[in-house]
Amino acid sequence: MAKILAFSGSGRKGSYNHSIVKCAAEGAIAQGAEVTVIDMSEFDMPIFNEDLEASEGMPEKAQAFKDLLMAHDGFLIASPEYNSGYSALLKNAIDWASRMQEGEKPLQAFKNKAAVIMAASPGGLGGIRGLVPLRMLLGNISMIVLPNQLAVSGVSKLVNDEGDVTDEKTVKGLHGLGKALADFLK
């Protein structure tokens, strides 16, 4: 059974990107995949710095995040758009996880694995501009990024207080993303 890790590039309480990636995960589960949804607020890690890495090694939360990546075949990733790019939190977590440790092959957490990317924003473009560089980054670390993607605009009107996506059309689109990744991994 395909194992998928679902996470967002936001550690904000009530993150819309966490909401949409959770919804996409439901689509993958319905398609028979085993999905782990994580909340990035539980993986607080320092900004990557080679001096810090040399003196203290991989921080505990960065190691825990990397271990999860290593244990899964594909990723559902939702990133906020900050000033037209993906979030620094996401880049930082990927930078830590990209570091090769003893007994590993280069980029082992990512290489030849598949990803589906998405974004959500209260604004009108839904964060689509951040998905362009995110797709490039993931491709450059040897991931297969599926063509399916979704940028959910006006997201604050589409999610309830519990953080569930309530808009039927959006739910359908997000479930479709999860399904696409699960089908690809099969």
Ligand X SMILES: Cc1cc2nc3c(=O)[nH]c(=O)nc-3n(C[C@H](O)[C@H](O)[C@H](O)COP(=O)(O)O)c2cc1C
**Which residues form the interface with ligand X (CB under 6 A)?**
8, 10, 12, 15-17, 80-84, 121-123, 125, 127
* Beta carbon nearer to ligand X, 16 or 108: 16
* Beta carbon nearer to ligand X, 120 or 145: 120
CB of 5 to ligand X, least distance (A): 17
Q: Tokens standing for 120? A: 């959500």
Q: Tokens standing for 180? A: 């696409």
CB of 82 to ligand X, least distance (A): 4
- Cα distance between residue 166 and residue 42, in whole Å: 25
* Beta carbon nearer to ligand X, 17 or 31: 17
Residue tagged 């679902």 (tokens): 6
What residues form DSSP beta bridges with 77? 7, 117
What residues form DSSP beta bridges with 37? 6
What residues form DSSP beta bridges with 5? 36, 75
For 140, the 3-state DSSP assignment is helix
Q: What sign results for the dihedral spanned by CA atoms 146, 184, 42, 91?
A: negative
Contacts of 52 (CB under 8 A, 6+ apart): 46, 59
CB of 134 to ligand X, least distance (A): 13
Closest CA to 118 of 144, 94, 147: 147
* Beta carbon nearer to ligand X, 55 or 83: 83
CB of 108 to ligand X, least distance (A): 28
* Beta carbon nearer to ligand X, 107 or 122: 122
CB of 90 to ligand X, least distance (A): 11
